[in-house]
Amino acid sequence: MRNSALVFAFASTLVWNVGIRDSDAAPKKKGAAAGGKAGPACGAKVLPLVVGNSWTYHQAPAPAALPENLARLAPAQPKQIVVSVTAIENKGGDTHVTLEEKHTFDLSRDPKEPKLAEHVVKATIVCNEKGKFDISPEAFYFAGEPGGFYGLTFDKFDRKKETSLKLTKGAIGENEWIEEISAHFTRQATKGEAKLSGGKLELERKFIPQQLESVVTKLGSYKAEKLAVTTTGRVVLDDRLAPNGKPCSGKAIDPATKAETVVPTEICELPANWINQLWLVEGVGVVQALNSYAHMYQLVESNVK
């Protein structure tokens, strides 16, 4: 597939799955809405957003390895992710939650000389009592993969249908929903590079609640609800410099032979069958995440008020 690196770069951070609810022998949450303290933002029990709350995740072995041809295109996986709630404000009837994420990458070539790099990302969640729960694409919780786009900025990011998490009494219900996103991005070239093209991004994210599953982490064992999210999408570049302005490849039926063939196209489809997963527990939050790059993360430390 032509221009596959660009398409996979989007897929790595804009595709996700989630899971949620009752804990099984889980650590007790600390002081949830007790002693006059405010409850989590917008009553989200499965993702308790309170200033000062934080969650630390480490790499964990995925149940299956990524095929070699995809592994070469996969983004680097951080060894640790720390998500912290730094601010909560009410604006125009919506609650705006600010998240700070610290992604730590191990760049060591020699185990005797550890070399770590830290990347800090700001993300937001905007919610209200009417059902909105919009997670920004920079957030780890958006796609089960650390976000932050080097040299890329969204100047438009609209949800045409539904929201990121459709909550029922603060938890995930039984019904499926589809979040439709229409966005436009720009890319900034580094010094000495040629001008980079921006483009339009469309995503359809189908959320499918799953059966409860047992999840075992260093913090304990949980009975977590699993939410599968299947993502489809496409990118159309503003400047298409390839022959005939068609930088990608797609499948079509040859009218002469009636056989399926590969043809150039201006629409760059995201890879098919992108299914990511997150497991969340009421009063705790996300305890495990697995994305389509076979990157798995598990909760190893939390501070939940």
Q: What is the pLDDT of residue 27?
A: 42
**pLDDT tens digits, one per residue of 151-162:** 788 999 999 989
Query: What's the rounded Cα separation, in Å, for the pair 204 and 179?
Result: 6
The two structure tokens encoding residue 98: 């600010």
Residue from 304, 291, 298, 300 nearest 66 by CA: 291
Please list, in sequence order, all residues whose beta carbon lies within 8 angstroms of the beta carbon of residue 5, skipping any fewer than 6 positions away.
73
Cα–Cα distance list, 182 to 129, 165, 185, 208, 222 (Å): 24, 17, 10, 21, 36
Q: What is the pLDDT of residue 2?
A: 41
Q: What is the pLDDT of residue 38?
A: 67
Mean pLDDT in order along the chain per 10 residues (305 residues): 44 38 38 56 96 97 87 88 98 96 94 92 96 95 82 90 93 94 88 78 95 94 94 88 68 81 83 88 96 94 95
Q: What is the pLDDT of residue 151?
A: 76
Q: Taking the CB of residue 280, how many other CB atoms lie within 10 A of it?
A: 29
Q: What is the pLDDT of residue 1?
A: 38
Instruction: Using CB atoms within 10 Å of the CB of residue 36, give its burial: 0 to 12 exposed, 13 to 18 middle, 19+ buried.
Output: exposed
Whole-angstrom Cα Rg for the chain: 20
Q: For 249-285, give the secondary structure using H, E and C.
A: EEEEECCCCCCEEEEEECCEECCCCEEEEEEEECCCE
45, 102, 181, 18: CA torsion to nearest 10 = -40
How is 154-176 classified by DSSP, letter by letter?
A: EEEEEEEES-S--EETTEE-SS-
**pLDDT tens digits, one per residue of 110-141:** 988 989 999 999 999 999 999 999 999 999 99
Q: What is the pLDDT of residue 121?
A: 94
Q: Tell me the one-letter amino acid at 211.
A: Q
Residue from 246, 275, 260 nearest 11 by CA: 275
